[in-house]
Chains A and B, each alone.
Chain A
Amino acid sequence: MANIENFATPSSAMGALKRPVVTKGWREWVFTVDHKKLGIMYMATAMFFFVVGGLEAVLIRLQLALPNGKILNADLYNQMFTMHATTMVFLFVMPMAAGFANYFIPLQIGARDVAFPRINAFGFWALLFGGLFINLSWFLGGAADGGWFMYAPNSGPIFSPSHGVDFWALGLQIAGIASLTGAINLIVTILNMRAPGMKLMRMPIFTWMILVVQFLLAFAVPVITVALFLLSFQRNFGATFFDVAAGADPLLWQHLFWIFGHPEVYILILPSFGIISEVLPVFSRKPLFGYPFVVFSGAAIGFVGWGVWAHHMFASGLGPVSVAVFSISTMAIAVPTGVKIVNWTLTLWGGKLWFTTAMKFAIGLIVLFTIGGLSGVTHSVAPSDTQQTDTYYIVAHFHYVLFGGAVLGLFSGFYYWWPKMFGKMLNEKLGTWNFWFMVIGMNLTFGPMHILGLQGQPRRMYQWTENRAGEGFFNLAFWNLIASIGSLVLVVGVFLFLVNIFITARSGKVAPLDPWGARSLEWMTSNPPKEHNFDSIPTVHHLDEFFHRKYAEDANGQMQQIATAEEVLKQLEDNADAHIHMPSPSYWPIVIAFGLPVTCLGVIYSIPLAIFGGLIILMGAFGWALEPSTAPDTDFDPPSSSNTSKDVVHVG
C-alpha cells in the first residue's frame, strides 16, 4: 500500500452518503437543521404564497368590480376563492408565524436550537412540498373548487369531478403533518429548554402566545386529519362517509372541520398578538400593561376557542339549545380578547411613544382588529348571524380580523426584527408609505364589504346582478367598485414592502446592536445571531431581562441607563462556554418530506407510485433513526474530532 494517497480517501468514497457536515452554497440551506435558517426559509416560502394568494384575491376583486363580471368564468372563480383562502390560511399566515416562532423562540428563551432540530427541518420541507402539491392542481385539471371549508357533499366525487379536491385534501394532510411536528417540537422547546431562571411567568409574551398556539395546533390538527382522511377515502377509495343516499350526515364534516377550524382562527391571530405585545412595550418604553392578564387571556382564548365551533353553523339547523349555548360561549370569548385590547391601549398610556414603522403597524392592529372583533360580536348574536352569515359582512369581519389583525402584526414583526435577522435596517421612510398604503387599501377593500353584506350580497358569487343591487347611497354597484379599487391600493402597499426588502438587501443601513432599545433576550446577541445563538446562556432574573440589564431605577425612582447593549453582550462573551455542541445537518428530513407528495400523487393516480413514495418515507425514517444527531468524525474531511465544537468568536 505504498501509494495509498492516490486512492480514494474514505470521505470522498462516501460521497453523498457522508453527513453534509461541511455546508456551503445551496447545501447550507437544503440540509440545514439550524432553526434560524429554517425560520428564514419558512418566511420566504410564506411570502411567496402571500403573493400568490394576493394575486388570486386581485382577480376575484376585478371580477366583482362590475356587474356580470367576465374576467373569470364560474368554475375558475370558484377555484380562485377556494385557493385564495387555502393559500392565505395554510400557506401564508401559518408558515409565517411558524417562521417567526422558529427563528425567535430559541432566542427568546435563551436556547441554542429547538428540541428536535431534524424534525424542525422536516416540518419546513413538508410544508413547502405540501403547498406546492396543492398548487400543482392548477396544472393538472383544475384546483379545488369547494371553498376552503370544503363542505360535504359538495366536495364529493360527483359534485367536484376534477382532481382539485384530491390535491387539496392530500396537500393539507402534508401541511398538517408539518404543523403537528412543529407544534410538538416547539412545545417541548419552550417547556424544556428555557434559560436558567426563566420561569413560565418570565417568558416573553410572544413565546407565551406561540406556546398557546402550538397547543391549539397539536390538538386541532388531528381533527382535520381525520376529516381529510374521510374525504380522501371517499374520493379515492369509494368510502361512503358523505354519501347522503347511503344515509350519511353532511353535518359530520362541518363539525369536524370547525372543531379544527375555529381553533385555527386563534392559531392565525395569536402569533400576531404576541408580536405586537413585544413591539408596543419596546416603543412605549414601558412594560406590557398587565402581563399576567395578557398571558391568561391568551390561554383563556385557547381554552374557550374549543367550545365555540358551532357558531359557524348557526344557520345549519342545529336546534335552539345548541345555538343558544354556542352563542353565549362565543360572546364569552370576546371578553379575553377585549382584555388584550385594553392592555395594549394601557401600555401606550403614559408611555414615551416612538412611532417607528413597527409601532405604526402595531397601533394599526389595535384599531383595525377592534373593528373586526366588534363586528364579530354582532354575529355572536345567533339570530343576527342568520342574517349575516355567508354574506360579505362576514368577509369584512374576518378580513378585519385576519388582515387588520394577523397580517398587520406580522408586518410589525418584519420591521421590528429585520435588523436582528439580517443585520440591516429596513427603510423606515418606505416603511411609512408601506404602512399607509396597506392600511388605507385594506379599509377601502374590506370596509365597504360591511355595507355589501348588510345589503344582502352573499359570498362566493362569481357574479352579481344589477337587479339585486338597489339604488341610493348603499347600492351594491358603487361599493363593489370601491372595494375593487381598494384591493389595488393594497397591492401597491405590499409591493412597497417587497421593494423595501430589495433596497435594504442592496444597500441598507447596517443595524446597530440594539436599534430599538429592546427588552427581551433575542437582542442579547449579535445581529444576525451566531449559529449557536449565545456564547454563554444568560441567567434570567426578570421579565424583560435585557432591559433590566441596561436600566435601573436611581434613588429618585427615575430609570437610568447603567449599561449599553454592547456592554451587556461583552459580559456574555467574556463568560463564553468553551465547547458548544451543535447538531449536524442531515439529508433525511428532506428525503422523508419528499416522499410525502410522491405518496399522495400515487394515491390520486396510481397505487404503485404511492407504495414507492411510502418506501422513500420508510427508508428516510430508518436512515434518520440510524443516524446519530451529531456526525461522527469520519464524516469530516479530513476526519477530525474538533468540528462539532464551535470556536467561540468574540463580537463587539
Chain B
Amino acid sequence: MTKKSFRIKGAGRLTPARTARFTFDGKTYTAYEGDTVASALLANGVHLMGRSFKYHRARGVLSAGAEEPNALIDVARDAARRQPNVRASVQDVFDGAIIRSQNRWPTLAFDTGAINNLLSPFFAAGFYYKTFMWPKEAWAKLYEPIIRRAAGLGVAPKEDDPDHYANRFAHCDVLVAGAGVAGLTAALSAAETGAEVILVDERAEVGGALLFDTSTMIDGRPGYDWAQDVLSRLKAMANVTVLTRTTAFGYYTHNFIGLAERVTDHLPRPGKHLPRERLWQVRAKKVIMATGAIERHMVFANNDRPGIMLASAARLYLNHYGVAVGEKIGVYTAHDSAYEAAIDLKHAGVEIAAIVDCRTHPGEAVVSAARALGIEVLTGHSVLDTAGRLRVSSMTVAPNGGNGKRRIAIDALLMSGGWTPSVHLFSQSRGKLKFDKAKDRFLPGLHVQDGVSIGACNGTDDLPALLAEAAAAGGGTLSVSGSSLYGWTGGMIGAAEGAGPETAVKAFVDFQHDVTAKDIRLAVREGMQSIEHIKRFTTNGMASDQGKLSNMHGLAIAAEMLGKDIPEVGLTTFRAPYTPVTYGTLIAHSRGDLFDPARKTPLHDELATQGAEFEDVGNWKRAWYFPRRGEDMHQAVNRECRTARETAGIFDASTLGKIEVVGPDAAKFLNLLYTNAWDTLKPGKCRYGIMTREDGFIYDDGVVGRLTEDRFHVTTTTGGAPRVLAHMEDYLQTEFPDLKVWLTSTTEQWAVIAVQGPKARDIIAPLVEGLDLSNEAFPHMSVAECTVMGVPARLFRVSFTGEIGFEINVPADYGASVWKAIWERGQALGACLYGTETMHVLRAEKGYLIVGQDTDGTVTPDDAGYGWAVSKKKPDFVGIRGLQRPDLIRENRKQLVGLLTKDPTEVLEEGGQIVADPNQPKPMTMLGHVTSAYWSETLGRSIAIALVAGGRARMGETLYVPMKDKTIAVEVTDMVFFDKEGGRIHG
C-alpha cells in the first residue's frame, strides 16, 4: 500500500537520502533523518496525534516546539526505555522508534473516553467540588477511582530505567539562553571579548525563528545561513560552549541556571558510554535571556480539531522539514506573521483557501503580497466555527458583527493571535514583569539578578534594534545588520468573535486540560477574582505545557469578565522547569552505589569474609552478627553473647566517632562541653562523658581518654560524630575563641578492635609491646600509647560489656592485619566475633545506655540515671542553665529503669508502651515506653530498659505493656541485670 506523501520536493533542509523507519500505534512510517515525530507524521498525512485530558477530544499537533499541548506521545526503544508524555513536536525520529498515542482506548481514532465530550455540560470547571459528596464514603471508594482512571495522560514506565545520566558543574562569564537571532548575536559579541560563553538552545539546530522565517536577511544573507555561519564561528572559539538540544529549564538564586542536555534521545543506536541526558549546573556571571516569543492561538469555537495549528508551526514544517500540513489550507489570524505562512505555502504549490483576518486594517505589505499571489484575504472577518471529526474539514467564516456566514472547505487551519514574549526565565529569576498596555503584553521589568533580556522576549520588535540590543548585551563591539518584513507586536488576546460571554461554545484556551473561555468566565462568576484562583479553579495553565499558550488568553478573558485591567487581575508566577525535566537527569550520578556513600570500616572485608551480616547505621555498614552455618540471627547472637561472657568476643568498633582535642586549654574546653569535670582526669586515664546541649538534654556520650596534659582522645557515638564535632567547633569558634585548643576528626585514622571477655588480655597480650597489661599497671579506664604488631597504637582498657575489655586503636591501614592476628589468637582460645546486636545485648545486661535508642533528645542525664556525671562544682558548662528549667526538675519525669517480664521467656517489643492500668479504656494513660529489649542468654531470660514516668520510685511495681493481641505484665527493676557488683570488669 502506498501512502500519500506531503513532503514538498525542494522544500526544507532535510536530506531525503537519509531515512528512518518508525512505528506509530503499530503502523510503520518512513521519516527523514532530522524529522521530529510530528513532522514525520505530518509528512505521512497524519494529523491525529492525541486525545485531550478531560473530554478526550481528538487532537492534532498544534505547534512545532516546546509549547505543544496536544501531541503528547509515548516513545520507546524497548520495554524499559520507554518515555511517556513526549512532545511529538520536539522528539526527533530515530530509526526503530516505537511511538504510541496516549489517553485513548481502544484506539486513537475510536476512543470510548470521548463520551466525556458529550457529558461536558456536566463537567464544567470545578464541578467536582460541588458533587460526589454522598454517601460519605463514596468519594474515595467509587468516584475518585473513576476520575483517577480517566485522568492522567501517559503510562508510567514499568521497568527500571537502564540508561544513565551525567552531571556537570560549570562556570561562565556569560550564559546565553536561546540561539535565535538575538542569542547568536549576543553570544558572538560576548565571545569576541574573550569571555567564557555558554550558548544553549532547546532545538537540535540554532536559528530560532530563522528556522521558519525565510524572509529575514541578516548581514546580506538569508537569516538561516547567517545563523549557521555564526554557529561555526562560535564553535571554533575555545572560550565558547554551544549546547543544542539543551533547555535552560530553571533560573535560580544568584545566577544559578539548570540546563538539561538531551544527548541520545535522537540517536538510533546510542553508544553505551553515552549518558541519555546531562544536567548542567551553571553559575554565570551574567545571564542573557534570548528566549524569543511564542505564537498564540485564536480562541474560537472548536478551535481544537486536528489540522488546526499555529501558523508559524506550519511554516516551520514547510521551510525546515519540507512538509505541507495540508492541501487546502485556511488561515485565521490577528497578526501579519501568519500571512508569511500562507505565502510560503502558496509558493510551494499548496492551495490557500482564504486568509481570515479579524483585523480591519492588517499590514498593507503582507495583504498585498498575499493578494498578488491570488490568495483570498478576508479582513474584518472571523472564523466562527469549524467542522470535521478526526480532522478539520471546513471553517465557518463571517464578517465581524455581521451576517453572511460562509463555510469554506479546508483540511488545515493556521492560526495566529500574535506573539507572547517568553518571559519564563526572567520570571523565574524573580524579576517583576511589567505590563505593556499599548501592546497587551508582559515584558521584563527590572532584572534583580545579573541578567538581561534581549530580543523578542524583551519585546524588542524591530530587527535592527534587536541586533544592536543583542550585540550590546554581549558586551562586545559586534555590528550586525538585518531587515525583516514585520514586527512581533500586535495581534489579540482573549476570546475571538463568536466566543464571547454570551455564547456557550467550546472555545479552547488551554487545549490539554480542555479549559474553555466559558470555564474561565464561570470561575469569575463563582467569585474567583485573582488569576491564581481562576487558574486553580479551572486548571488553566496547569497542564504539562504550563500555560505557554493559554496564560495570556485566560488572563484577558478573566479581565474582561471582571471589568478590570489585565495587570489588576495579575499574572501567575512562572515556575521552573521551563519544560519538564526527567528525574534521572536531575539525579544524574546519584543512584545505586552512588546514591549515598556506604561507609565501610578498614575491617569490612575481613568481617565479610567471616560471614558477617551488616546493618546500616547512618552511612556506615556495621557488622550486625556472624551467623554460622544453619544459625539464624537469634541463635548466632545467643552464641556470641555466651562466648563473650565465658571466653572473649572480638568486635569492630572502628565507626565510633573520634575527635582529637589538642592544646593547652583542652581540659578547660572539655569542661565547658561535657557535663563532667575533666581537669581532674590524669594522663593515661579515661572517663565516660556526657554531653548536653544548652537545653540540658543528652546530646551524645562516650569515653574520653587523656593522653597527655594537652591531648585528649574523645570518642562519640557512631551516628553522632559529625554533629558533635560541629557542635564543639561552634562553641570553640563563637563562644570560646580565646581558648588555645584545636579539634581534629580522627574517626577514620584508627581501626578500633574491641576485645572483651575473661580471656581478652590473653588474646592481645602477645601482640602488644611496651605496655604492662596487668590490672595493677593498666586498670579499667586506662589509656596508653604503645606498639601493637610493630605499629604505633593507642590502647584503651574500657568495657561496654561489663567484662574485662580492651579497645586497640591502630592506624587504619594496619587494621585488617591486626584484626586477622587477633582473630587467629582468639579462635585458638575459643573466642568469637560479634556484631552490633550482641554488643547491644551485652551492654543492656549491664544497664549501659545507648544515646539515640534509650534516649531521644528529651532525656536529661538525671533521667537516664547518670546524674552523677553532671558536675556540681563547675561554674559553667553547656546545659547548666537548661537543666534547671521548671519542667526539667519537676517530679515524675520519665526515667530509665529496667523491666523484667513476669514471664521470663517473653521478650518485649522495643517501642512498646507502658501503662499502670491495662483495663483503662482508650485513650489510655501511657507512662513511658520500652527502649531496649532482648533475650539475655547469659541470664536465661528476657530483659528490657524503659523510660517510665517516676520510674526510679516504682522499683518492684508491676506495670503492663499492652500489645495488639495480649498484655504483658512487667516488674520495674534497676537497669543493671548482670554482675551487679561489677567485679568482672576488673578481671
Q: Do A and B come from one complex?
A: no
- Which B residues are closer than 8 A to A by beta carbons? none
